[in-house]
């Protein structure tokens, strides 16, 4: 498929995809397509896709509904949890409203308890995610994936075959492969596009319900970026920044903006919206498809895991591959797992990789933009 549109227009289309999908999710419901909502990268979406359901990431990246959430939840709780709950409680998230079921997972304590309250007014299926990556944990997670499949079969009166799951795995692996090719264009130096434009595509693609069209669209976009780069269209040479830490998007895009408005360029994201969720495919050749899914998802290097070597492995690979000059970690206030793990990340980046590291703690308000700009400007000038 030839993309005729200019790159800025394509990036804006992806940026608007979340809003455009508000209407699309209603149209799906009108056609009788089941909708499964989720919040987390550990959600094994292939199981839902295998029964023909649409999957969607639920609203959780704005401070709009936090005051409502704080009527039920503590004020000193992670903004992502309060935002998620607030959007659910107020019915201000069309994706939540039209979801037949919300799939939760036992990542951190705050989310676990939040799902208990949410289940009072919505069907919530809670998956018991182990907090380590041992053989016993793998057995538990595999059993949870099978339990999820059986829940969907019973709830929607369908049969999900292994062939259905294998096809869904193939489809989603193609999506991952294309998105990985997209973010790999940032290995070029100078970078071909801004990190914010890259983010718009990575984030926007998660709101496309027809997953089958993503590879073709993204592959065409990659070809266009590479063609324009060969013609000399590229960014100025700037310090190359890796962004890691808590899930980024919505209100927290202010961190990307602060980096790129103050002399840096984000060349890679280790966060959930970036490499963490795309880097590894599901093994299509594994004779046990449930085991293959369990391995792929359980191996995600999130700070809820202990120990968490997979995060350091991916971080190290990205630092080397993208010729990174500095690492910025974004932590959300009261996100205990990421904030405690930041010491290990600082040590790894400073001591093992010999690079500068900056930790910025923030929330979903815009009140700290001045402070963010000051700290990030000083960091980038140091590089």
Q: Name every residue whose Cβ is closer than 8 Å to that of residue 301 and which is 6 or more positions away in sequence.
A: 276, 308, 309, 310, 311, 312, 313, 314
> For the chain, what is the domain count?
1
Which residue is associated with the tokens 């339990």? 147
Residue 157: the pLDDT is 98
CATH code where residue 233 lies: 3.40.50.11900
Q: What is the model's pTM?
A: 0.97
Residue 172: the pLDDT is 98
Phi-psi label, residue 52: left if phi above 0, alpha if psi -120 to 50, beta otherwise: left
Residue 3: the pLDDT is 46
pLDDT < 70 stretches in the chain: 1-4
SS3 string of 77-134? CCHHHHHHHHHHHHCCCHHHHHCCEEEEECCCHHHHHHHHHHCCCCCEEEECCCCCCC
How confident is the model over 83-125, as pLDDT tens digits?
999 999 999 999 999 999 999 999 999 999 999 999 999 999 9
Residue 4: the pLDDT is 57
Work out the mean pLDDT of the chain and round it to a whole number.
97
How confident is the model over 168-177, as pLDDT tens digits?
999 999 999 9
Residue range of the domain that includes 281: 1-383
């Amino acid at each position: 498929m030839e993309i005729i549109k200019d790159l800025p227009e394509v990036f804006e289309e992806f940026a608007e995809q979340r809003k455009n999908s508000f209407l699309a999710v209603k149209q799906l419901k009108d056609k009788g397509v089941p909708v499964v909502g989720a919040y987390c990268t550990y959600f094994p979406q292939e199981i839902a896709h295998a029964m023909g359901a649409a999957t969607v990431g639920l609203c959780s990246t704005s401070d709009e509904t936090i005051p409502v959430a704080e009527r039920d939840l503590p004020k000193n709780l992670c903004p992502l949890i309060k935002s998620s709950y607030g959007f659910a409680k107020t019915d201000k998230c069309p994706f939540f409203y039209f979801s037949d079921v919300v799939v939760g997972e036992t990542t951190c304590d705050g989310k676990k308890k939040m799902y208990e309250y949410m289940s009072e007014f919505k069907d919530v299926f809670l998956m018991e995610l182990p907090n380590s990556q041992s053989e016993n944990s793998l057995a538990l997670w595999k059993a949870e994936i099978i339990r999820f499949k059986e829940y969907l079969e019973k709830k929607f009166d369908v049969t999900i075959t292994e062939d259905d799951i294998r096809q869904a795995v193939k489809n989603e692996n193609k999506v991952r492969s294309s998105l990985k090719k997209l973010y790999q264009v940032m290995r070029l130096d100078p970078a071909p596009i801004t990190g914010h434009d890259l983010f718009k595509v990575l984030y926007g693609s998660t709101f496309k319900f027809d997953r089958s069209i993503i590879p073709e669209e993204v592959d065409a976009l990659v070809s266009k970026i590479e063609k324009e780069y060969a013609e000399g269209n590229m960014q100025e040479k700037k310090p190359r920044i890796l962004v890691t830490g808590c899930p980024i998007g919505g209100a927290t895009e202010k961190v990307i903006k602060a980096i790129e408005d103050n002399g840096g360029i984000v060349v890679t994201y280790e966060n959930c919206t970036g490499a963490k969720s795309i880097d590894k495919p599901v093994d299509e050749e594994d004779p046990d498809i449930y085991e293959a899914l369990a391995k792929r998802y359980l191996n995600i290097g999130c700070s809820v895991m202990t120990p968490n070597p997979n995060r350091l492995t991916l971080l190290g690979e990205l630092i080397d591959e993208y010729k990174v000059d500095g690492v910025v970690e974004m932590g959300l206030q009261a996100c205990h797992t990421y904030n405690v793990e930041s010491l290990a990340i600082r040590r790894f980046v400073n001591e093992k990789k010999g690079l500068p590291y900056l930790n910025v703690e923030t929330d979903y308000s815009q009140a700290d933009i001045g402070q963010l700009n000051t700290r990030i400007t000083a960091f980038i000038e140091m590089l």
